[in-house]
Amino acid sequence: MVSADGRLAAVVPFPGDLRAAALLGVVRPEFRVERFVPPAGHFLAPTPCVIAPCLRKNVSHGLCAAHDAAWRKAGRPEREAWIADPANWPAGLSPDVALCLVSGCRYSGGLSGLCDLHLADLNGLHSRGQRISVRQYAAAAPALSRPSVRRCGFPNCGYEISRSGLRDGHHYRWTKVGRPPLAAELTLRNVPSFSVAGLPPLAELEFQYLLQLRTDQRHSKVVPSSWVRAVNTVIAEGVSSVRDHPAHHWRCLSLNYTTVPQLFTDLLEALGALDGPAEEWDRDVWRPERLGYSIEERQRVAPLDFTGITQPWLRQTVKRYLRLRLARTELRSAARNLHDFVLFSRFLAEARPDRQNDPAALDRPLLESYIGWVGRRTVEQKGPYFGQPVAPGSRSRLLSAVSTMLENVAPLRLAACAARRRPDPPGRIPAVARAEGQLHRRARDGADRVRGESGPAGPRDTRTGADLPTRACASANPSP
């Protein structure tokens, strides 16, 4: 059996391919398989429809989309009784093989319970204006026949075929899973799984990384049919890597599918992140799962995106401040503060467009004008309050967030100026580090909670890069 590294070497242009090396270093062994079958309880394992024979996933109160639509069409009867009635089960995709509902018919039924011949006859009646139900039709319709060809090619199926070498019901299922090769492998399609068969080795590794990413983020699942569509799209393009085309290209190839474009967008963003700095704090987008936050802590919290702060000096200041703030506050509070700082960056771009790279532009007149700018803001989000003045509480939060940040970073700026004027005596903690220690003391002994730190979360010596003694940032009033 050829290892993943061996298969990868067949397409990597040279052994030191950085793209391959980065992926091989992060994709865990459980995802390095050709077909990943999520075990019971796994995040990617779809919750099945409560109707036992149905393979569709639960989307509404235990029912799949097809059964939920059938329940609504039936007039929303008592739910438990409707689910218990076997007559309602054919509304879903069932793995069971059953005869056509028409008495005396020797062919198998598809999704509607009718074979292809009787379904075509019923559709003809509908097109001529005769609106009758499947049950009414099945009770009165005669048996129909067609020339016998051979048995269904689906494993362990003995019914006569309809088309493409499959019986009526199996042909429908085969179409729904993307028309894979007719082989014993088709039986595995009844079990929700994610296959990378047919992909080039590098693209295969990329898709395996996508499964791991969705599992770790626990934000959105992967629809099996969308996965098949995405894999088939890459195979049809004949590329060795998804990164051979931009996200826009892949999205345009799947415009008729709801979730497939997002798969490509997430995958390319994740692959691009692998090329960034190794330290998460140095990136412009902080992903909570990489900072060590639990699923509960990062629930409904988007990654902290600093790219909306267009001034480089302000972006670095905000990143430094929020890193310390995360030691004593919740993740969602820091995310709200980041939104406030993005608005402050927008104000600076409007008020001083010619001094975007000059921190000295942040003077008292400018900050006073910011108060008026906040007071004139209106709600920008579409909805019932769109265009109305921002609530007083929101204005107060905006001003408070910026004020608190400037108050906390001022010691760092003053210390940096002092450090440039004269060097510190030997053996003395540098001025910038002393100011940074003041910020850590304000964290109330919570700095050790900063995720992703390889050592003590205290200040660092700016000359050597070494951690300073933790007593330098000990809290005077530790939290209980």
Same domain for 79 and 58, yes or no, is: yes
Instruction: Report if residue 478 sits inside a domain.
Output: no
Alpha carbon distance 327, 293 (integer Å): 12
Instruction: Report if residue 480 sits inside a domain.
Output: no
Same domain for 319 and 425, yes or no, is: yes
Per the structure, the complete domain to which residue 456 belongs is given by 290-473
Of 274, 299, 329, the last residue of a domain is 274
pLDDT in tens, 71-101: 888 888 888 888 888 777 765 444 455 678 8
- Predicted confidence at residue 471, as pLDDT, reads 35
Torsion 69-74-77-81 (CA) sign: negative
pLDDT in tens, 416-467: 444 444 454 555 444 444 444 544 444 333 333 333 334 434 444 444 444 4
Determine contact, residues 459/323, Cβ cutoff 8 Å.
no
Name the burial class of residue 169, with classes exposed (0-12), middle (13-18) and buried (19+) by CB atoms within 10 angstroms of its CB.
Answer: buried
**Long-range Cβ contact pairs of 223-226 (< 8 A, separation 24 or more):** 223/57, 223/259, 224/46, 224/177, 224/192, 224/193, 224/194, 225/176, 225/177, 225/178, 226/257, 226/258, 226/259, 226/260, 226/263
H or E, element range at 35: strand 35-36
- Predicted confidence at residue 64, as pLDDT, reads 78
* Domain total in the chain: 4
Same domain for 445 and 353, yes or no, is: yes
Instruction: Report if residue 206 sits inside a domain.
Output: yes
Same domain for 186 and 205, yes or no, is: no
Please identify every stretch of the chain with a pLDDT value under 70, giving residue numbers as ranges: 1-17, 53, 55-60, 90-98, 110-111, 146-192, 256, 276, 278, 410-480
- Predicted confidence at residue 59, as pLDDT, reads 63
- Predicted confidence at residue 421, as pLDDT, reads 46
Has this prediction a pTM greater than 0.75?
A: no
Six-digit token pair at 191? Answer: 């079990």
Instruction: Report if residue 281 sits inside a domain.
Output: no
- Predicted confidence at residue 464, as pLDDT, reads 45
Same domain for 80 and 210, yes or no, is: no
Same domain for 439 and 299, yes or no, is: yes
Determine contact, residues 120/107, Cβ cutoff 8 Å.
no
- Predicted confidence at residue 14, as pLDDT, reads 39
Cα–Cα nearest to 144, from 162, 169, 164: 162
Alpha carbon distance 94, 170 (integer Å): 10
Instruction: Report if residue 285 sits inside a domain.
Output: no
Alpha carbon distance 162, 100 (integer Å): 13
Of 242, 274, 306, the last residue of a domain is 274
**What DSSP string runs through 332-347?**
HHHHHHHHHHHHHHHH
Instruction: Report if residue 458 sits inside a domain.
Output: yes
